[in-house]
Amino acid sequence: MSDAAPAVERWLAWRYLATRQREGFVSFIAIFSLIGVALGVATLIVVLSVMGGFRQQLLDRIVGMNGHIVITAREGTLQATPELLTKLKDFPGVQAVHLTLERQALITAGPQTRGAVVRGVRPEDLKSREIVARNMVQGDLGAFGNQPGIIMGERLRQVLNVRPGDKVTLITQRLNENGTIAPRYTEYEVMGSFLTRRYEFDNTFVFVPLSMLREDLDYGDQAVTSIDLDITDPQAAPRMVDELRKALGRDDLKVAHWLGLNARFVGALQVERVMMFIILTLIVVVAAMNVVASFTMLVRVKRGSIAILRTMGASSHTIVRAFFLSAAAVGLVGTAAGTALGLLVCANMPSIGAFLSWLTGAAGSGAAEVDFITSMPVRVQATEVASVVAVAIILSLAAASYPAWRSTKVEPVEGLRYE
């Protein structure tokens, strides 16, 4: 008998979901409730994945020009001694060590003059920076370091109206013996340009071979403004910073991590992520409320059937489970369909982005900001998808509970009075 009871409950649940003449309108609402749950879940997955893709691209561009951990001197320049570099390279979790000598300067070409951030870097360090190496639009990095040449942002190159092979002048400053400041002029050849699609990088950054910039600025052979470290686990940067401070044991050095240096920006992205999840979850909540409404109406329509089942010996638990199964099935099927739809859209997002770009006339515009938006980056995270599915299932089961509870309030005598 115990084996037959679940089968009866499942059969009753299916019968309650089937379309009949009188309760056809209720079933119609249930179908749209299922569609609502599916669309809500799909929307959550797609929007969170796209926002995650944009967020990851932004973070990659922030970290891409620097390291996960940045070491600077508390005063003046930092001396990158062989002993210090060896200690950093051998530290557990460190992938690469980059040296940087950075100065503010003016860059001129003909009648055009612009402010720039001049970075002296070793040729191998620049070539390993994927954000630059993969985004070269003019020239190449092959000869960087072999001659007095620079690599600049594409927007800066366009403003100065120069091409690879043209000459530009970097204007820095030097301190005279009498304490006055005098300009220093150094001519370089433009070797190429990069386009990261981040305005402050493309509009201001100029890379110069580290040894040449040291010589031009009269710095020593070991002088740098910072040492950047790339680590295997970026999220472990705060812990590694504490360990590095203890291992180095030097009060003249400042050790910071990328999360701390970009705390406001990273915090804003985290808040946006949580708020987006909460707001979009309301779509699923509305769909769940439709499930409550439709199956509460179904309970009222089925009062006579419930009363007959009770008089034939069916327990209240059987009725409750039957209604719970029928209402929960709408939410669970909707959740499964929405998850499949959301993942399918994410898998085809590049094609969708290209279509939207064509539809809006933005295709082939060449504008960095437009290309960044229409590229529709997607980063599907299993934890986010699991969270969406879990929330949808919980809401669906909660929505199924109330109609099931209402079915126990139907008295056989009252249910049969109008039958």
What is the distance of C-alpha 16 from the center of its chain? 43
Q: What is the mean pLDDT of residues 391-413?
A: 71
pLDDT score of 236 more than 60: yes
pLDDT digits (tens, 9 = 90+) for 177-219: 676 777 888 889 999 999 887 788 889 999 999 988 888 888 8
Q: What is the mean pLDDT of residues 18-28?
A: 53
* CA-CA-CA-CA dihedral for 134, 137, 142, 148, to nearest 10: -130
pLDDT score of 169 more than 60: yes
Q: What is the mean pLDDT of residues 111-131?
A: 89
- Select, from the ranges 5-14, 281-290, 296-305, the one with the highest average predicted confidence (pLDDT): 281-290
Which of these ranges, 183-192, 236-245, 311-320, has the smallest mean pLDDT?
311-320
pLDDT digits (tens, 9 = 90+) for 352-382: 767 666 666 655 544 555 555 556 778 888 8
More confident call, 5 vs 148:
148
Domain assignments of the chain as residue spans, ordered by start:
4-61+265-417, 78-224
pLDDT for the residue 194: 92
pLDDT for the residue 314: 58
Mean pLDDT, rounded, of the chain? 79
pLDDT score of 324 more than 80: no
Which of these ranges, 9-18, 74-83, 333-342, has the smallest mean pLDDT?
9-18
More confident call, 222 vs 412:
222
pLDDT band (50, 70, 90) for residue 276: confident
Contacts of 87 (CB under 8 A, 6+ apart): 247, 248
Place of tokens 């508390």: 74
More confident call, 245 vs 400:
245
Whole-model pTM: value is: 0.66
Which of these ranges, 51-65, 299-313, 322-336, has the smallest mean pLDDT?
299-313
Residue 392 corresponds to which tokens in the numbers above? 């949808």
pLDDT for the residue 341: 92
pLDDT score of 2 more than 50: no
How far is Cα 45 from Cα 365, in angstroms, rounded to an integer? 29
pLDDT band (50, 70, 90) for residue 37: confident
Contacts of 270 (CB under 8 A, 6+ apart): none
For 176-246, list the strands marked E by DSSP. Answer: 181-194, 205-209, 223-224, 226-231
pLDDT band (50, 70, 90) for residue 153: very high
Residue 346 corresponds to which tokens in the numbers above? 């994410």
Q: What is the mean pLDDT of residues 220-229?
A: 89
**pLDDT > 90: what percent of the chain?**
13
pLDDT for the residue 352: 73
In sign, the C-alpha dihedral spanning 5, 8, 10, 12 is negative
| Cα angle 13, 14, 15; round to 5 | 90
pLDDT for the residue 99: 92
What is the distance of C-alpha 268 from the center of its chain? 12
* Crossing angle of helices 24-64 and 382-407, rounded to 10°: 160
pLDDT for the residue 21: 47
pLDDT for the residue 299: 64
- Select, from the ranges 18-22, 180-184, 242-246, the one with the highest average predicted confidence (pLDDT): 242-246
Which of these ranges, 11-20, 134-143, 321-330, 350-359, has the smallest mean pLDDT?
11-20
